[in-house]
Structure 1
Amino acid sequence: MTTPSQDRPTPQDRPTPQDRLTPDELRTLFLFEALSPEQLDWLAERGRVERREAGEVVYREGEPATCFFILLSGALSLNRVLHGDDVEVTRTDQRGVYSGATRAYLGDRVEQLYPHTLRAVSDAEFFVLPADEFAYAVRTWFPMALHLLEGLFFGTRAANAIVNERERLLALASLSAGLTHELNNPAAAALRATAGLRGRVTGMRHKLAMIADGRLDGAGLHRLVALQDDAVQRAATGVSMTAMETADAEDTVSDWLDERGLAGAWDLAPSLVAAGIGVSWLADAARTVGAEHFEAAVRWITYTIDTELMMGEIDDSVERISELVGAARQYSQLDRTPLQIVDVHDLLDATLTMLQARIPDGVRVVREYDRDLPSIPAYGAELNQVWTNLIVNALDAMPDGGTLTLRTWREDDRLMVEIADTGVGIAKDVRPRIFEPFFTTKQVGEGTGLGLDISYRIVVNKHHGDLRVTSRPGDTRFQVCLPIEQTAEATETAESGETTEAGGAAEASEDG
């Protein structure tokens, strides 16, 4: 270890002897116990003792980090502001714990701000070292450790960024597969209906031959068109029958047509019954067009009904495709500015649509929305990523089925979103760690352990909200708390990729 240069300028407010600790007193602090006498002398000369009364704020979250603090006596607490509330994250009376400008050695490569608010819980004394002096000591005395710390800090941040991006890509791939599956169903239905429609239109052209041959006069044609219009209206309205009632009606119509010599009556009956056409209607039609034209009229009307039903199926399929595309656009928010006024219900519904293929048949989805909630300023695409992570976790917790519940309500100036499941729950020993990066209870290769960490960062760091969890077997609830009025600071906050302080620090992780 090297000794600091004696030529280094000293601060103008050099502490007086009564405000200093002696080298021997400094050695009693675990942080300094292995330093050389020269290094202890240097610290004793530049550090000072500060006394704070119970309840006094030592420094505030977000202020420039100008000093490094070590607790000498008393007790302290570290607090963070979450969605407007001052939340205590750490309380200790352990002598020697440290906080403040713990990253001063990184210089201007990172923003030097206090990540918490430090309060004296009782009357307390601190050994205080200016941030630039602390940084100088670390860089000068521990060059190898400095390189290791820098490598760990920036390497972990870079790795987090890469893995976070990988996590997003994996989620995108999963959602793309689900969306493709969902789009395939209505697209295939539209193709089937189009193919069937082509055959029905061909049959209708053939039946027009009777008109071209003059076998049906003008009055008869008007009567046939009137029957056709009535059949179309019936097909549009539809009928509601059970499967048993439908089968009985088809048998009755088929038998009646067979008695009148219509070939393939069994093939005509389903279309007629689907339009609500029964024996009485057919009997009236027979009297209207006459016995000689009855079979042609029935087949013409059947083709018309089939055409209407198939066009309705195509319309439904295309509408479903349009809804899926709309949900994908709502989910991705590709055509929106990052910060926008959003309706959380639209975001939740879009996410459920995108995840539809992943929801097992045994899982019931319940929506309990407070539709009176206002729209809020938020990053829509990133909130959708939060919903995705929470919903997927809930589904994974219910492999044998259960109930997925999405609730929204208002608490004062906050909007609450709850995603609950009836799965196995989260073990008590696991619960405190679920928001830690890379922590996962899944098998190797099945999860990165970043889903909840990313969700926490998005909700807490970017939206200045809060993410909570309560769990017992059969009832796990993740609650996302979002401010209804977003602060200007929140619009400038970027996701943090920094790591947690280690050692004997009283620091809490900046990322939860």
Structure 2
Amino acid sequence: MPCSPGEIGALFLFEKLSPEQLGRLCAEGRVEKFDPGPVYAEGDPATCFYVMIEGTVVLSRRVGGDDVEVVRSSQRGVYSGAMQAYLGDRVPQVYTNSMRVTEPTRFFVLPAQSFADVMQEWFPMAAHLLEGLFFGTKNTQRAIGQRERLLALGSLSAGLTHELNNPAAAAVRATATLRERVAKMRHKLAVIAQGSYSPETLAELIEIQERTAERVAKAPVLSPLEASDREDEVTDWLDDHDIPDGWRIAPTFVQAGLDVDWLEQVAAAVAADILPGAIGWLNYTVETELLMDEIGDSTTRISHLVDAAKQYSQLDRAPYRVVDVHELLDSTLLMLSGKIGRRIEVVKDYDRGAPKVPAYPAELNQVWTNLVDNAVFAINSAGGEGTLTVRTAREADRLLVEFRDTGPGIPADVRDRIFDPFFTTKPVGEGTGLGLDISWRIVVNKHHGGIHVESVPGDTRFQVLLPLTAPDPEDDGPDDENVITEDRASAEEPV
């Protein structure tokens, strides 16, 4: 269709251009009419810059396998297409959205190279400023994103160090005490061996020692009141049988699951004159068994922490695989337990029957970290006591992972901006504003899922929806490094 300099000069984008400039645009561009339907598709090579003269245009973004509408406009002069052509081959020149028209629509269409040329020739300062803004923003976002990851790593490392220190210190203390008890047991055994005990008596003592060790391994867990009552009974029995330091021995016996009936069996098996020595020797046996149990529990705890760290980092795993989300959630909560603290109750409401999902597990762990960190911050800002509930459930063909906190909530006037890069409600120095931005990119761009927030005071829920099946390769949207402008609200899919 013929291009009229007067017509395109009336569009707000070109209204300040000279007649010569308008003439050049008409000479290098064209006016084209499109019937209802697609104009270009997201991810295709960006060959043209489009300015609408009349009609209705719809822009959409691909989220998972769906096209989500982000803009619909009938305003003359709205534009789209090869908007970064002036940057040349320094960025991938592809359309970052899809455009269609809903009625016969006319566009002024300028080839991408012509758009780049006029930008560089007519607006050199503006082009340099836009170029600096574009790359400066990308570099700043990358640098702060890396810093946020390092800060998160430092926080996790501190928490892991704290968690490892407790069982390690307990194992060291138990080992030192165990060495002391074994030395005393050797001494007591030497004393018994020097006595006038028959082989039958010694055999009986050894059999009692074996039975005692078995009972320690099966010791029941008593309530404080039950333990106190049993200690009183055992202490009275020891005193009645002239066993020295009965008050000190009784708590150890009770902890090991030994009671008065067991003591009566010991008394029936040995002579009265050697009962005190036998009880003392068995006390050392009980103590060594308990200490070995403590060492075993501590080292098992350390092993579980190391496994959780490996699970969290995914250092020895494939980057993309089918995973049990609950394992990822557990490892993240364990890694962040030091930061969560004891004043925040963590509730796991898992649907263990939910299927596994194809995912990038290390990156999902980063999402969980960001969401848990925000929940903890919110609860702490409201006094430091509250509940963090992590819930999973199957929602049709997707898996829901929900993080719910009892913090003060997100104000309605900023709720639509929380996924924007660099936006944060935290005080200066406490947040970079990239945690939710990174989470959005990971969930939506890499996993073709959705992330949504619902919030009222005392009840804020971040809901992540992950597909149960891997997307087809041709459904993949542009890589997050190539996405220039995004409408984050479009990715929120209510549950």
- What does the per-residue CA deviation read over 1:365-389, in whole Å, with 9 as the maximum and x for residues that have no partner? 2222233333333211111000000
**Does the alignment pair 1:429 with 2:386?**
no
- Superposed structure 1 runs of 4+ greater than 3 Å apart: 489-495, 497-500, 507-512
Instruction: Provide the residue aligned with 2:391 in structure 1.
Output: 407
Instruction: Provide the residue aligned with 1:15 in structure 2.
Output: none
Specify which of 109, 114, 118 is matched with residue 128 of structure 1. 109
Letter of the 1:35 partner, please give it.
L
Letter of the 1:46 partner, please give it.
E
**Does the alignment pair 1:372 with 2:349?**
no
Instruction: Provide the residue aligned with 1:106 in structure 2.
Output: 87
| Distance (whole Å) between structure 2 residues aligned to residue 317 and residue 81 of structure 1 | 50
| Distance (whole Å) between structure 1 residues aligned to residue 258 and residue 319 of structure 2 | 55
Unpaired runs of 5+ residues, structure 2, are none
1:205-220 mapped onto 2 (5 Å cutoff):
205-220=186-201
| Contact 1:77/1:118 (<8 A) preserved | yes
Over 3 Å counting, the alpha-carbon distance change for 1:326 and 1:33 in structure 2 is same
| Deviation (angstroms), 1:261 | 2.6
| Distance (whole Å) between structure 2 residues aligned to residue 207 and residue 152 of structure 1 | 81
**Does the alignment pair 1:240 with 2:221?**
yes
1:21-420 mapped onto 2 (5 Å cutoff):
21-54=3-36, 56-399=37-380, 400-420=384-404
| Distance (whole Å) between structure 2 residues aligned to residue 493 and residue 23 of structure 1 | 36
| Deviation (angstroms), 1:163 | 0.9
Aligned length: 487
- What does the per-residue CA deviation read over 1:110-157, in whole Å, with 9 as the maximum and x for residues that have no partner? 111111111213332211111111111111211121111111111211
| Contact 2:65/2:475 (<8 A) preserved | no
Give the share of equivalent positions with the same residue, in percent. Answer: 56
Unpaired runs of 5+ residues, structure 1, are 1-18, 501-506
| Deviation (angstroms), 1:28 | 1.1
| Deviation (angstroms), 1:489 | 5.5
| Distance (whole Å) between structure 2 residues aligned to residue 485 and residue 162 of structure 1 | 33
**Does the alignment pair 1:466 with 2:447?**
no
Instruction: Provide the residue aligned with 1:451 in structure 2.
Output: 435
Q: Match of 1:370, SS?
A: coil
| Contact 1:425/1:474 (<8 A) preserved | yes
| Distance (whole Å) between structure 1 residues aligned to residue 316 and residue 345 of structure 2 | 32
Specify which of 472, 480, 485 is matched with residue 495 of structure 1. 480
- What does the per-residue CA deviation read over 1:46-68, in whole Å, with 9 as the maximum and x for residues that have no partner? 222222334x1111111111111
- What does the per-residue CA deviation read over 1:404-444, in whole Å, with 9 as the maximum and x for residues that have no partner? 22222333432222222222211111111001111000100
| Contact 1:161/1:497 (<8 A) preserved | no
| Contact 1:348/1:384 (<8 A) preserved | yes
| Distance (whole Å) between structure 2 residues aligned to residue 246 and residue 167 of structure 1 | 49
| Contact 1:386/1:458 (<8 A) preserved | yes
Q: Match of 1:416, SS?
A: strand
| Distance (whole Å) between structure 2 residues aligned to residue 373 and residue 321 of structure 1 | 29
| Distance (whole Å) between structure 2 residues aligned to residue 492 and residue 291 of structure 1 | 85
Letter of the 1:135 partner, please give it.
A
| Contact 1:332/1:381 (<8 A) preserved | yes
Letter of the 1:228 partner, please give it.
Q
Question: TM-score, normalised on structure 2?
Answer: 0.94
Instruction: Provide the residue aligned with 1:14 in structure 2.
Output: none
Letter of the 2:309 partner, please give it.
A
Instruction: Provide the residue aligned with 1:483 in structure 2.
Output: 467
Q: Match of 2:110, SS?
A: strand
| Distance (whole Å) between structure 1 residues aligned to residue 171 and residue 218 of structure 2 | 21
Q: Match of 1:468, SS?
A: strand
| Deviation (angstroms), 1:94 | 1.7
Over 3 Å counting, the alpha-carbon distance change for 1:383 and 1:311 in structure 2 is same
| Deviation (angstroms), 1:286 | 1.9
Instruction: Provide the residue aligned with 1:9 in structure 2.
Output: none
| Deviation (angstroms), 1:510 | 12
| Distance (whole Å) between structure 2 residues aligned to residue 29 and residue 492 of structure 1 | 32
- Which has the larger displacement, 353-362 or 307-316? 353-362
| Deviation (angstroms), 1:491 | 8.1
Q: Match of 1:282, SS?
A: helix
Over 3 Å counting, the alpha-carbon distance change for 1:106 and 1:511 in structure 2 is farther
| Deviation (angstroms), 1:37 | 1.5
| Distance (whole Å) between structure 1 residues aligned to residue 106 and residue 476 of structure 2 | 38
Letter of the 2:27 partner, please give it.
E
| Distance (whole Å) between structure 2 residues aligned to residue 66 and residue 420 of structure 1 | 46
| Contact 1:115/1:510 (<8 A) preserved | no
Letter of the 2:82 partner, please give it.
A
| Contact 2:192/2:277 (<8 A) preserved | no
| Contact 2:410/2:457 (<8 A) preserved | yes
- Which has the larger displacement, 259-268 or 163-172? 259-268
| Contact 2:58/2:101 (<8 A) preserved | yes
| Distance (whole Å) between structure 1 residues aligned to residue 273 and residue 219 of structure 2 | 29
Q: Match of 2:379, SS?
A: coil
Over 3 Å counting, the alpha-carbon distance change for 1:494 and 1:74 in structure 2 is closer
| Deviation (angstroms), 1:509 | 7.6
